[in-house]
Amino acid sequence: MPFFEHLRDDILAVRSRDPAARSVLEVVLCYPGIHALILHRLAKRLWRLRLYTISRFVSHVARVLTGIEIHPGATLGRRVFIDHGMGVVIGETAEIGDDCTIYQGVTLGGTTLTRGYKRHPTLGCGVIVGAGAQVLGNFIVGDGAKIGSNAVVVKEVPPGATAVGNPARVMLKEDQQRREEAAAKMGFSAYGLSPDANDPLAIALHGLIDHAAIQERRITELTEALKRLGIEVEGVTPLGKDPRLLDRLVD
């Protein structure tokens, strides 16, 4: 694809995804992500010509100028936007789909030292990787997935899902919806997280909170029933009508 078509795509991507970008000139002059992409394309050409050392040198110059390190072997799609950029590291066998957004401090890194294998992650299209997130290993982050800032992701993230925390727990859209529906029935949403989130501590905690919420409601119902029969139960102080009080206990 010709240089200027790429550049136009990159500029449009910045302007559509960064409300701070005021003009094309500003984007061309002041966005290190744009400079890094231009130099990466040059490095990539040299890499394909097997001019490995000069190619790495171009990548190194880009790093010095922008703070963004993209290995020339990495494969980037169209309209990738690296915002701010400082501290971004993209490894040799990483692949990034079209329309991805990557913030400062992100690593797309490897976890093995074995040469000749794919060691780095593959991002699908439209993935957002928040500032400081570390995505480590050879797995796929599905189309439209979101990685929260400072997350440490070490396994696959399904399309459309959100991964947050260290180690990252995955929140699937449909699970979040299902849980919200259940919470609406119960009048309570423990932490708002999916029971299928893959953090065992979080799963245990949410299970306990849900259980406590059900018990709380039953105790309230029983004391009210007893009261109607003229029996006052002393020493029972329910949390009140707002079961979200339990949420605050774990906040």
- 122-181: contacts with ligand COA (CB under 6 A): 128, 130-131, 146, 148-150, 162, 164-165
Q: How far is the CB of 144 from ligand COA (least distance, A)?
A: 10
Q: Which is nearer to ligand COA, 234 or 251 (CB)?
A: 251
Q: Which is nearer to ligand COA, 7 or 202 (CB)?
A: 202
Of the ranges 29-37, 67-75, 187-195, 203-211, which one interacts with ligand COA (CB under 6 A)? 187-195
Query: Considering the rule CB under 6 A, would residue 103 count as an interface residue with ligand COA?
Result: yes
Q: Which is nearer to ligand COA, 139 or 191 (CB)?
A: 191
In angstroms, the CA 241 to CA 128 distance is 39
- 33-72: contacts with ligand COA (CB under 6 A): none
In angstroms, the CA 110 to CA 198 distance is 22
Nearest to 134 by CA among 175, 173, 105: 105
In angstroms, the CA 136 to CA 142 distance is 15
Phi, psi of 87 (to 5 degrees): 85, 5
Q: Total number of residues binding ligand COA (CB under 6 A)?
A: 15
Pairing mode of beta strands 75-76, 140-141? unpaired
Q: Which is nearer to ligand COA, 140 or 209 (CB)?
A: 209
Q: Which is nearer to ligand COA, 19 or 230 (CB)?
A: 19
Tokens of 123: 């991002």
Q: How far is the CB of 165 from ligand COA (least distance, A)?
A: 5
Contact 131, 105 (CB under 8 A): yes
Binding pattern to ligand COA, positions 76-95, x when CB under 6 A?
A: --------x-----------
Percentages (nearest 5) of helix, strand, coil residues in the chain: 40, 15, 45
Query: Looking at 5, 24, 86, 192, which residue binds ligand COA (CB under 6 A)?
Result: 192
In angstroms, the CA 78 to CA 22 distance is 22
Sheet holding 140-141, edge to edge: 75-76, 95-96, 122-123, 140-141
SS3 7: helix
| Binding positions for ligand COA, rule: CB under 6 A | 84, 103, 128, 130-131, 146, 148-150, 162, 164-165, 191-193
